[in-house]
Structure 1
């Protein structure tokens, strides 16, 4: 049964990692119109000292690409030329990242279901 619990640990770490990724994607989408906001990206790493295959969320990084320059002389943050810095969030990239995270999350859920079914089948065989 320890193999099943190790498999569940790996699956659970994947679910947590994709959940964190989706949370940061939603923060990026929510702040896409915030002046000066930089897109957050999530990295994954091996969870050291844990079951082989487990992942953990690494440090959150800010995208250092150029911020969009927006012309709006009436904006309170506008400089002498009437421009201010918007965000560097591209909604198309965020939607693609959200779909990828969702599909990875669903794949982990399917693995969870498979492990659960296998452990149930094993228990049924042992009862006979």
Structure 2
């Protein structure tokens, strides 16, 4: 169970990193003629999430206000995944502390 918690949180962290990279590219190219804004869709993988990056329609351009809002959302989602990871580690620590010394994993001996 705990491995699935870590796997899900790790996939979320990776997906948000990809999303932030797309936002950075959009901001860097705000004044580039004919630049096609990168759009990110989150796709469920069954055991987590994956970011799929695609190019938006031609002529749409980049709106900095939209990019800032997306950046804030990405930061909040990344922090939420970090909190899930930390909670999973706390759960693991509590489990290892409750076990008899001979039943603990190697790092607790």
> So what's the TM-score if we normalise by structure 2?
0.86
Instruction: Please list the CA deviations of residues 86-127 of structure 1 after superposition, one character each: whole Å capped at 9, or x if unmatched.
Output: xx1000000000000000000000010000000000000013
- Structure with the higher helix share, 1 or 2: 2
Q: Partner residue of 1:4?
A: 2
Q: How does 1:45-84 map to 2 (within 5 A)?
A: 45-47=43-45, 52-58=46-52, 60-64=53-57, 66-67=59-60
Specify the SS of the correspondent of 2:99.
helix
Q: 1:120 aligns with which of 80, 88, 93?
A: 93
Count how many residue pairs are aligned between Structure 1 and Structure 2: 101
**Equivalent residue for 1:36, pick from 15, 34, 37:** 34
Specify every segment of 5 or more residues in structure 2 that has no aligned partner in the other structure, as ranges. 102-109
TM-score (norm 1): 0.74
Q: Which has the larger radius of gyration?
A: 1
- After TM superposition, the runs of 4+ consecutive aligned structure 1 residues lying more than 6 A away are none
